Amino acid sequence: MTVRSEKPIDDPEWQKLPCDEKVQHKLWNARLAGYEECGKLFASQDSSKSGEFEDYLDLLPRFAMDANENAKEKGLEALLIFIQEAHVARTTVGDIVPTLVSKCLSGRPKIKERAFDILLMYIEIDKNAEIEDELVKGLENKQPKIVQACLELLRKGLSEFGSKVLPIKPFLPKVIPLLEDRDKTVRDESKLLLVEIYRWIGKQTLMPLIQNVKPIQMQELQTEFDKLDLNGADKPRQIRFLRSQQNVKQKQEQAVASGGGAGASVAVDEAETDAQEDLDPLEMLEAVNVLDKLPKEFFEKIESKQWKDRKEVLDDLVTLLTQNPKLASDGDYFELVKALSKVISKDSNIPVVLVTAKCLTALAKGLRKGFKNYAIAVLEVCLDRFREKKTNVIEALRETCDAAYPGTNLEQMAETVIVTLAHKTPIVRQCTQQFLTKCFAMATQTTLPKKVLKIYLPPLIKVHID
């Protein structure tokens, strides 16, 4: 956009006005001069609680919405100083930030740069949640320039402040669809932001969330991911801190100043840990009822006498569950779990059993606590099937048992486990004991009170003696 250049109008009268009147003047050059004077005034205050700051609260929105681009640039410079210096700056977010997003992020480069500086300064003064909310709203703006700028600012904020200060969860679901936006700058910036997200949360967390991205886009992302050295130069580290985080900043500065050593390494590691968000990828996904998406004739084919037919329909189910890792817990999965459990219990074909175990594992992980109605039945058939003795089957069944366990507890599954601890086949007893060891390792005094422990002790002692 070409900005119309306006010549300053000679009117010496406005020069005699105080700066609070100049910023309201009809002449753009008067307002520009007023903004410059305000910037100097704000910077010269000895206290962040100076009354001068409060005197300008009502005028501040003008600084960000001046109709003249030259004046607006100076207004934003003064506004940045105000946000940086004034204690009352925290109260101005609602009046200033929406204007910055809608009126400044699509402006000429200098105005966009000043708007970035102000928004990042708002984050620094502990208004990170509010700024993130406005930027997330900006991702739905109809102007590509604003969407691109919001993406860029989220990336910059994440890179500098870290994912604890700027949590990834609120914006990631909105970023992924923008990979297919009509505007190339939006697509490119979305990719850059996802690469930055990858730095902070890693492959294990991010990949399940972007698995439905088109192959060509995934290939481009993977190429960028592979370039990162997450244990070296690209390791995520907070480099800018909130006003309330000065203790973290001091730790890092002291570690660097000390010149290295074990203590310095620990201090830096602690600072890095403090900057990283604990993120559960499933929380960001929409729950899906896969029962409505089951392959046609699923229950008929799973009973087929031809093992290839059974495996084919089970492979389809694995694909379906992989594509939809978060499952709606309000569905009735009883018939599905019953059919899969029957395969585990009775099917003699190893490839079929292996893929069925994968299905049950995915169901348990996708339903989480919603798997509680099926966990005991699944554990019963899996523990009994340890009799197979084949290593690949045992490993697959172990994964299923581990996934099912969060749906139950040591007290509820006691009867089932005690039966398999007394199984006639030694490998079943051994694998059951190993599974139980994992459960005990995760237990607390609440989940493993003395009364429950007493139930397990006799059969465990007997297994040990045997």
445-465 residue pLDDT tens: 888 999 999 999 999 988 877
Tokens of 445: 């005094």
The residues, ordered by sequence, that sit 6+ positions from 44 with a Cβ below 8 Å of its Cβ are none
Farthest-apart Cα atoms in the chain, separation: 104
Block residue for tokens 């609602």: 94
* Side chain identity at residue 176, one-letter code: I
Name which of 208, 194, 201, 214 is nearest 163 in CA terms: 201
Res 3: pLDDT: 45
**What is the architecture, at CATH level 2, of domain 12-227?**
Alpha Horseshoe (1.25)
Res 252: pLDDT: 75
Domain extent listing, the chain: 12-227, 243-281, 284-465
Res 253: pLDDT: 73
Same-fold call for 12-227 versus 284-465: yes
Residues forming beta bridges with residue 288, ordered by sequence position: 327
For 77, 92, 119, 162, the CA distances from 83, given in Å and listed in that order, are 10, 9, 9, 21
**Helix 109-122 × helix 128-138 angle, to 10°:** 140
Res 437: pLDDT: 94
Tokens of 356: 């069925």
Res 212: pLDDT: 82
Q: What is the pTM of this model?
A: 0.72
Angle at CA of residue 422, ends 420 and 427, nearest 5°: 65
Q: Are residues 181 and 171 in contact, defined by beta-carbon separation less than 8 angstroms?
A: no
Res 11: pLDDT: 62
pLDDT along the chain (466 residues), means of 10: 48 84 94 96 96 96 96 98 97 97 96 98 98 98 98 98 94 94 97 97 87 91 94 93 86 70 51 62 82 91 96 95 89 96 97 98 94 97 94 96 96 95 94 95 91 92 80
The residues, ordered by sequence, that sit 6+ positions from 370 with a Cβ below 8 Å of its Cβ are 327, 329, 407
- 265 phi and psi, to 5 degrees? -60, -45
Instruction: Write 330-334 long-range contacts (CB < 8 A, 24+).
Output: 330/289, 331/289, 331/290, 331/291, 332/291, 333/291, 333/363, 333/367, 333/373, 333/374, 334/373, 334/374
Query: Which of the listed CATH numbers 1.10.150.120, 1.10.10.10, 3.40.50.1970, 1.25.10.10 matches domain 284-465?
Result: 1.25.10.10
